[in-house]
Amino acid sequence: MKKIIFLLSTLFIFSACKNAENNTEVTTDNPRQEFSIIIHGGAGTILKKNMSPEMETAYKQKLEEAIRVGYEILKNGGTSIDAVTKTINVMEDSPLFNAGKGAVFTHEETNEHDASIMDGKTLNAGASAGTTTVKNPIDLAKAVMEKSPHVMLSGKGADTFAKKQGLQIVEPNYFYTERRYKSLQNIKEKEQTELDHDTKVSFYDGDIKDSKFGTVGCAALDKNGNLAAGTSTGGMTNKRWGRIGDSPIIGAGTYANNNTCAVSSTGWGEYFIRGMIAYDISALMEYKNLSLKEAAQEVIQNKLTRLGGTGGIVAIDKNGNMVAEFNTAGMYRATINDKGELSIGIYKN
């Protein structure tokens, strides 16, 4: 008997360590959660040594403010779609995140927003790419899903549709923030130096790779057992030629299916598109019976990492178990379960 207890506890310790090593955070495990919510505010080389205590507090406060909005909706019997939208709105309205107000700048010194949302009950989805005047791009994604026969709208057409739907429209300069503008100038200078010295210019090298912190996303399970996920971003600093990342791509940046899970991604978008990261997690659960934790680890730590991609996901399964999985130094994230227990993280544990 003693031997069995020893073996079991060794196994338990081993699997706990393994999770910590892999950056998996499982904030809830059975029993089933009546409802739950998880958010991210972007993944990347987020290191404590580069963060002032004031910035850290500001991020934590905003993450808490945002997730509490969704939590209240879910607690009061609202839908996961509403919780996801309203939670993302809070982060879109903050200059801290690379979405809405705080969106990064394109090479042409504009701000182009991408967003998507998916309803796990119906598998309905909506997305918008490259908009420049919509204050809250996640509202547009939701309107595309609910008020149009389409899944994805882009550019001027998407801006026009938003206006017709009565969504809040702003002047493009609403999205100006000094911090993001300076990031663009830094990257352009670096690019110019590389050109002057005839070195290979890589869009994603060094600072450039990490010039996209702050995409926001949310996954939620409501009291009716419906899952939803949404993602909103300004994309990557210095992007050009109408570049679109994974965030508005259903299956890459966002996915939700009541039979499996709801996922929102953040990271180097090109890899998330090629790996169909969000859908792949759901597919492993659906076809291979993996748990959410196993599926997320497999896709982020093995598949994405092997491809050369960096970033992470937040996800919830149909029982309300929540996972934050990433292969970067950090990911802004928070969860609340049905007992109202809040957890906030920034760095790797």
**263 SS3 class:** strand
**64 SS3 class:** helix
Q: How far is residue 58 from each of residues 37, 45, 214, measured CA to CA in Å?
A: 21, 18, 13
> What's the rounded Cα separation, in Å, for the pair 264 and 256?
9
> What's the rounded Cα separation, in Å, for the pair 160 and 152?
14
The single residue among 41, 126, 251, 269 that binds ligand ASP, judged by CB under 6 A, is 269
Smallest gap, in angstroms, from Cβ of residue 22 to ligand ASP?
A: 20
DSSP bridge partners of 125: 118
Q: Return the number of other C-beta atoms located less than 10 Å from residue 49's C-beta.
A: 4
Closest CA to 179 of 263, 118, 237: 237
Which 36-55 positions form the footprint of ligand ASP (CB under 6 A)? Answer: 42
Which is the catalytic residue, given 133, 215, 254, 266?
A: 215
> Using the rule CB under 6 A, is 345 a contact of ligand ASP?
no
The single residue among 85, 94, 233, 257 that binds ligand ASP, judged by CB under 6 A, is 233
Q: Is the CB of 70 or the CB of 245 nearer to ligand ASP?
A: 245
Q: Is the CB of 36 or the CB of 328 nearer to ligand ASP?
A: 328
Q: Is the CB of 137 or the CB of 320 nearer to ligand ASP?
A: 137
The single residue among 245, 275, 320, 330 that binds ligand ASP, judged by CB under 6 A, is 245
Q: Which stretch binds ligand ASP (CB under 6 A): 195-203, 220-228, 232-240, 299-307?
A: 232-240
Smallest gap, in angstroms, from Cβ of residue 176 to ligand ASP?
A: 19
Q: Is the CB of 161 or the CB of 271 nearer to ligand ASP?
A: 271
> What's the rounded Cα separation, in Å, for the pair 250 and 37?
20
| Phi, psi (rounded to 5 degrees) for 337 | -95, -175
Footprint on this chain of ligand ASP (rule: CB under 6 A): 42, 212, 215, 233, 235-236, 245-247, 266-267, 269
